[in-house]
Amino acid sequence: MPDSTGLSLDDQDQIPTPPGRSYLLDTNVLLHDADSLHAFEDNNVILTIDVLEELDRFKRGNDEKARNARRVIRDIDSLRNGLPLSHGVAVPGGGKLYVTVKSFVEDLPKGMDRSVPDNRILAAGVALRKAGADVVFVTKDINARVKADALGIQAQDFLATRVNFDELYSGWSEHEVPHETVEGFYKHEPVRLDAHLHPNEGVLLKSANNPKHTARGIFRADSGLVEPLQHGDSHPWGLSARNLQQQFAFELLMRPDIQLVTMLGQAGTGKTLLALAVGLQLVAEEKRYRRIMVSRPIMPLGRDIGYLPGSKEEKLSSWMEPVSDNLQYLVDPKLEQSGDKVQYLYDTGVVEVEAVTYIRGRSLPKLFIIIDEAQNLTPHEVKTVVSRAGEGAKVILTGDAYQIDNPYLDASSNGLTYVVERFKDQPIHGHITLAKSERSELASLAATLL
């Protein structure tokens, strides 16, 4: 019997086999990027009823996954516009969105658990392939991609926000120049290089006659010239740079016209310590910003800390311990009375800690904002955080792309590397990759060997 749409139930139960390529999406793709339905150009997008059920489960809450689930559900409803999803509705860009409600578990081989939503989504992929559709299963779950391959289904990661990590911009470069150029540079004569440089890129000039004769500079996009560093030899809050990359980091952190700084590096390279030292200098000493706001993602991603006892500060204390360790070193390198001094910074409002979850919706003007462990954020979450920066604010994103705790992110798809790639040509951004561990010989060897 036809329903109000004019379709019979049997019609709605059929697997959609539209012409052209079809992308069968896993739920985690939609939770990762609420705009992912629009990322497939003029191709078809297919969702199963299991995906809608999982979105319904995730939509309750205040974390980023819940918000994305609600956005996707609203998006699907707006695209529907009274038309039957089982027959496909137009998506801006030229493709169509299909939703199938039929179960295809009978197409799964024996031994696969039919109660697992991912397996039921894969069953739809098997049915699509059998029906002759050109189907690609898209998921952030590596194991789901392996299972899809075992079932003969083409599978891939969601590629819209991936970058080539092996070719990621490092933030600095070396250039061999005539000896006279290096000599002139020391006399504050800027240099124009015949090379493609990004705004605020660190530059090491090497004499062609003597490679040990070098000079450090920064490329300024407005003039097209390499200028000497202004802050490379600074000692913010008494801290000194221990290597070239740290000198470039000081330059980016202390320049007022650079509003966004990204720092990548393994454990012990000094990312958080450098950012906090400059923050204390610019807030407590120079009064350039109102206060330092420090935040880290709560892992597992998006998990609320409300279940912990005590005030917000007490809830955050254990989670922010790595930041407190760095503050203790900065305020009292001998660690004799560092606890009281760090607490004074919190009590007087010089330093504020906040969960990334609670930054959404806030406007943060004239703050020195440090987001530590930013590699555990998705590109959309990083966008949410950076877009909170108000007038006169500066945002620093730090992290290690090799230490990611989010099961659906990797070195090429996390929010930190995504920002580096997308902002590398913007004059208000600067990036540096810190390569050398300065924490201790043991830490350096551990980062290298383990």
Query: In the predicted model, is pLDDT for residue 419 greater than 90?
Result: yes
What is 231-449's CATH topology?
Answer: Rossmann fold (3.40.50)
Name the least confident of 304-318, 367-381, 400-414, 433-447. 304-318
Structure confidence at residue 8 as a pLDDT band (50, 70, 90): very low
pLDDT digits (tens, 9 = 90+) for 300-352: 434 455 555 555 556 666 667 888 889 999 988 777 776 788 889 999 999 99
Q: What's the whole-number mean pLDDT along residues 95-116?
A: 93
Q: Which amino acid is at 248?
A: F
What is 9-156's CATH topology?
Answer: Rossmann fold (3.40.50)
201: its two tokens: 């890129």
Cβ atoms 151, 35 nearer than 8 A:
no
SS3 185: helix
| DSSP per-residue string spanning 379-424 | HHHHHHHHTTB-TT-EEEEEE-TT----TT--TTTSHHHHHHHHHT
For the chain, the average pLDDT equals 90
Q: Hey, do 9-156 and 231-449 end up sharing a CATH topology, with the first three levels equal?
A: yes
300: preceding bond cis by omega (within 30 degrees): yes
Name the least confident of 201-205, 260-264, 354-358, 403-407. 354-358
**pTM, to two decimals:** 0.85
Query: In the predicted model, is pLDDT for residue 131 greater than 80?
Result: yes
| Domain boundaries of the chain, sorted by first residue | 9-156, 231-449
234: its two tokens: 């600074």
What letter does residue 361 receive in the DSSP assignment?
Answer: T
Query: In the predicted model, is pLDDT for residue 148 greater than 70?
Result: yes
Distance CA 251, CA 229 (A): 7
Q: What's the whole-number mean pLDDT along residues 178-191?
A: 95
Query: In the predicted model, is pLDDT for residue 170 greater than 60?
Result: yes
